[in-house]
Structure 1
Amino acid sequence: MSSTSAVEHTSTPEGAEPSKAPQRLGLALTVISAAQLMVVLDGTIVNIALPHLQTDLGFTPGNLSWVVNAYTLAFGGLLLLGGRLGDLFGRRKVFMTGVVVFAFASLLGGIAQTEGILLGARALQGVGAALASPTALALITTTFPAGPARNRAMGVYAAMSGAGAAIGLILGGALTEASWRWTFFINVPIGLLVLFLAPRVLRESERGRGSLDVPGGITGTAGLVSLVYGLTHAASTSWTDGVTIGTLVAGVLLLALFLVIEIRSEHPLLPMRILQDRTRGTSFVVMLVVGAAMFSMFYFLGLYIQQVLGYSPLKAGFAFLPFSFGIVIAAQVASALMTRVDPRWIAGTGALLASGAMFGFSRLEVDSSYAGHLLPFIIVMAFGMGLVFVPMTLTAVAGVAQEDSGVASAVLNTMQQVGGSLGLATLSTVFASALTDRAAVLGAELQTKATAGGMTPEQLAQAKAFIGLQAQTYGSGKAYLVGAAMILVGAAITFAFLNVKHEKLSTEGHENVHLA
């Protein structure tokens, strides 16, 4: 595979300077994981702060959604470009550049006095995340040797990726108690610490010589941005809306043009050999489905816990704490099993557990309790996600030439981001349709009772509010059922097509990796 690489290496072989090899791999993993956690949790940390942010900066309800969307669009749209920049110019350098951009954008967002500056800061955070995230995963593959060491490192990385969203909700609730601005400021000290330690514990990768695929970068980025925007827009309007259709069609056409350019390019942004491997292709597809389910789970459960169960933002954030613990434990279990069990059985079992949890969520009622009805399925979902993330992360980058590991990592992250947008858009449409239908039926029944008499105005108002909660819970249930079916398809794909053996992952060679 490396013989067909588009990148020509001119630097000294990595093993030539052993004194510069990382002496403390644990600290190296801490640096990489801290940066990944910072990037991932920022997708959710501002969610709980949105009402306060809207009041302070005067956002309209329509513009408020862009606080989330600006980050997602920039992150998902630029991931491939960020991964390839790391392959060409050095992964540690691009990783640190991404952290600098992210920390500066966080500071800018924290001091923002207008909605325009805040939205610009969120988009800039997405740019920094797109540079740091794919290079972070690539640095693991080039720093840790294949086998138990890399499996453990991937387990920690996958846990940070999976738990980041839940941790973001908890931090968002806690920090908003002081000020919404702290949801941005919290990234600055983390970024500074990462920047201080990175050059001391991370070795730079070989720098490639070659031209950056500018046409591919423009069409690929524009296509992903257009596609993600269309999917996001569908969630707030409809699938038949003109803007939704137009941006989705434009995204598909631009991505088709991107593939044509990549096939013909001498130095492609996305080498087609990355997608041709059956194992990696399966991993990418399954991660797309898993991302769709997890993003949607946090969205609908967040609404249910606050609006139906009546939890405060901080209490709602802590309600997700068992998910964080569960996914960390499951990720460590999965990483330990990777040396003895084939990935298909670990990931496939995890997907079945996650599908079962989504089905459990679909049975929630207005009078359900957290401890008795919600918590058990949160734990099952966490264990399922942890068992999926670790093997899929490993198989997505297995067998990739060292100079292509950055772009392979970027494709994996892109699948998660695009999957999250696709899942939320699809399930939000299911939710809205089911909610409307159920509210109409219950409203008609209430109207009949009200006409027959016997209800005071106060009782009528209470009944209408209760109908709203019933309709919301019913709509969420239908969305969870579709989500359960989606993950079940992911499990079937895993069992059918992920045929790589655990022995291959344990012995996969990265001969240029030298450890002290």
Structure 2
Amino acid sequence: MTSGATSVPPKSHRILALTAMVFATGMTFIDMTIVSIGAPVIEQDLGITDREVQWIINSYLVGLAATFALMGRMADVYGHKRMVVLGTFVFAFSSLMCGLTPDGDLAGAWLIGWRAIEGVGAAMLFPAALAIVVASFPPQGRGRALALFFAITGGLTAIGPILGGYLVEWDWRSIFWVNIPIAILALILTARCHVPTERQDEPIDWGGALFTIAGMGLSVVGFQQASTWGWTSPATLGCIIGGVVILAVFVRYELSREYPLIKMRIFKDRAFQADNGVLFFLSMAFVPVFFFLSVYAQAALGYTAQEAGIFLMWFFVGFVVAAQVGGALLDAKGSKLPMVIGGLVGAAGYAGFAANANSLNETQVAPWIVVAGAGAGLMLGPASTDAVNRAINATYGEVTGITQTVRNYAAALGLAILGSIMTSRIADNITATAESFGLSESESATLVASVSGQTSGGAAGALANIPESSEKAFLQEIPTDFANALSVVIYAMAAMMFLAAIAALRHPGGRAQVADEAPEEAGSGPSTGQTVKRLVIFALIFVGIFFAIYAFV
């Protein structure tokens, strides 16, 4: 694999570049989890529907996935630093506009649109930022630099739920505005960076970009709207089938291009195929879990947004600790073992959580959430790292463009499919409960529409038809209805983790050889043993901080 760097800058410039890129991309990682915590509050304050809330989260993922490869190529052609600056501006401005969402009928569309643009901004800066980190460090120090980069940005993902919980208690709009000071600092640091990188004098594959945007967008719309349009409706099937056909055409189109958007021939490597299969199924369960955990905490357990943020940290406890184990296994045995074990552990964790979800008891579900997080932690690092190392005759940016497109598209698909299942199951469960208390079909439908945020009119009248002695009992059943609906979704996540383990079995095994890495110079950095010790200490500190916050709250 080639790096594309022309020269290596001095150490001070390398540290400055790494710091700047951590701040630039950090806000995109925070954004993946922080909005999930605020979703129920946003829905209530703006009076929007469940479907619109899911689109607020998923439009970001669609914008990110559909344009990631294009923006990576544009960064190679127009300059990485320039794209980081432009992407940071776009991300910060769209965050500002999300926070300025007006009340009224246009609120949902406004927020969904600006969230999609926010995703495009993230796609602009993320591949360019990675390329700058790669170009800033020599081959013998690049692995540790990237490990540190992903460790810090991953930690910021964990901060999102806690930060979001506190900010939502003040004003939900602040979960978007918090990105602005981070963006300003990132721009100041980026302006001071002096990182020489090559620009590729090649045409951009605009046709391929259109195919990816149309194919991914249509398929996600079909799954996202399935519970509203009906799973067998012509609109749903047309979007899903049309999206798949367009993506298939995209693959054939790319194979015929001299300068393709995505080099499909990289997939000839069996290990690379397996790594991306693992990342696909893992991402369908990994990113959406934050939204569904937030819904479970607030709708089923009755937690506040702040308490829900702390609740989500159970997942990160398992994830952070297991990530260190996965990294050690990768170095010792290769990626196959941690990916297979991680998939099975994650499937067991999700299944255990689903089986205990209707207990409405945190102490019963928390251990299983930790196990689910551990499964993801074991898999994510090894799959991503091995995919990069296996790709021959491709730059780091090109390979990252593929893996990140796979991950984000899978996350968008997962949220769309699972969100539609959740919405349908909640409606069915509440309808059955209402009818068991003597409400008619039309009155039950009114209650379902009210609970799902589709309307507030008529709910009080429908409740009035339930005997006063039974009204309290009926309302107490609603959290159980949510929990039962979510248990179906979580079982589906367990199935996805199991499929990830199956995909890992196709991996040929062994460790990838990185051709461009030179031997480490004496005294150039900490030894592997020292690095492992530091990572373990970091994980233990993280767990300690979590339990301290948990005990305090």
TM-score normalised by length of structure 2:
0.79
| Candidates 397, 402, 415, aligned match of 2:406 | 415
1:415 is displaced (CA, Å) by: 1.7
Structure 2 stretches lacking a partner, 5+ long: 440-465, 526-553
Aligned to 1:425: 416
| Candidates 73, 76, 80, aligned match of 2:65 | 76
Q: Distance in 1 between matches of 2:47 and 2:430?
A: 32
Q: Is the 8 A contact 2:36 2:294 kept in 1?
A: no
Q: Distance in 2 between matches of 1:332 and 1:30?
A: 22
The answer to which of 475-484 and 208-217 deviates more is 475-484
Q: Distance in 1 between matches of 2:15 and 2:241?
A: 46
| Candidates 484, 489, 494, aligned match of 2:494 | 484
Matches within 5 A, 1:10-49: 14-15=6-7, 18=8, 20-23=9-12, 25=14, 27-49=16-38
Q: Does residue 96 of structure 1 match 2:96? A: no
| Candidates 363, 366, 388, aligned match of 1:375 | 366
Letter in 1 for 2:114: A
1:496 is displaced (CA, Å) by: 3.0
Identity over aligned pairs, percent: 30
1:209 is displaced (CA, Å) by: 0.7
Q: Is the 8 A contact 1:158 1:331 kept in 2?
A: no
The answer to which of 63-72 and 294-303 deviates more is 63-72
Aligned to 2:98: 109
Aligned to 2:516: 509
1:385 is displaced (CA, Å) by: 1.6
Aligned to 2:550: none
Residues 240 and 44 of structure 1, relative CA distance in 2, 3 Å threshold: farther
Q: Is the 8 A contact 1:167 1:324 kept in 2?
A: no
| Candidates 123, 130, 133, aligned match of 2:116 | 123
Aligned residue pairs, count: 494
1:122 is displaced (CA, Å) by: 2.1
Q: Is the 8 A contact 1:362 1:476 kept in 2?
A: yes
Q: Distance in 2 between matches of 1:27 and 1:243?
A: 50
Structure 1 stretches lacking a partner, 5+ long: 449-455
The answer to which of 262-271 and 461-470 deviates more is 461-470
Q: Distance in 1 between matches of 2:386 and 2:340?
A: 13
Q: Is the 8 A contact 2:269 2:390 kept in 1?
A: no
Residues 22 and 283 of structure 1, relative CA distance in 2, 3 Å threshold: farther
Q: Is the 8 A contact 2:168 2:175 kept in 1?
A: yes
Q: Does residue 467 of structure 1 match 2:471? A: no
Letter in 2 for 1:85: M
Q: Is the 8 A contact 1:443 1:467 kept in 2?
A: no
1:160 is displaced (CA, Å) by: 5.4
Matches within 5 A, 1:71-220: 71-113=60-102, 115=107, 118-144=111-137, 149-159=141-151, 166-201=158-193, 203-220=195-212
The answer to which of 160-169 and 215-224 deviates more is 160-169
1:151 is displaced (CA, Å) by: 4.4
Letter in 1 for 2:516: G
1:497 is displaced (CA, Å) by: 1.5
Task: Indicate the SS of the match to 1:180.
Answer: coil
Q: Is the 8 A contact 1:142 1:402 kept in 2?
A: no
Cα RMSD over matched residues? Answer: 3.4
Question: C-alpha deviations, 1:376-416, integer Å up to 9, x for none?
Answer: 12222222222211111112221446763223212212222
Q: Does residue 349 of structure 1 match 2:341? A: yes
Q: Distance in 2 between matches of 1:293 and 1:227?
A: 18
Q: Is the 8 A contact 2:292 2:486 kept in 1?
A: yes
Residues 421 and 180 of structure 1, relative CA distance in 2, 3 Å threshold: same
Q: Distance in 2 between matches of 1:123 and 1:491?
A: 32
Q: Distance in 2 between matches of 1:489 and 1:55?
A: 36
Question: C-alpha deviations, 1:481-512, integer Å up to 9, x for none?
Answer: 2221221121122133252415x2xx43157x
Letter in 2 for 1:253: V
Task: Indicate the SS of the match to 1:45.
Answer: helix
Aligned to 2:247: 255
Task: Indicate the SS of the match to 2:12.
Answer: coil
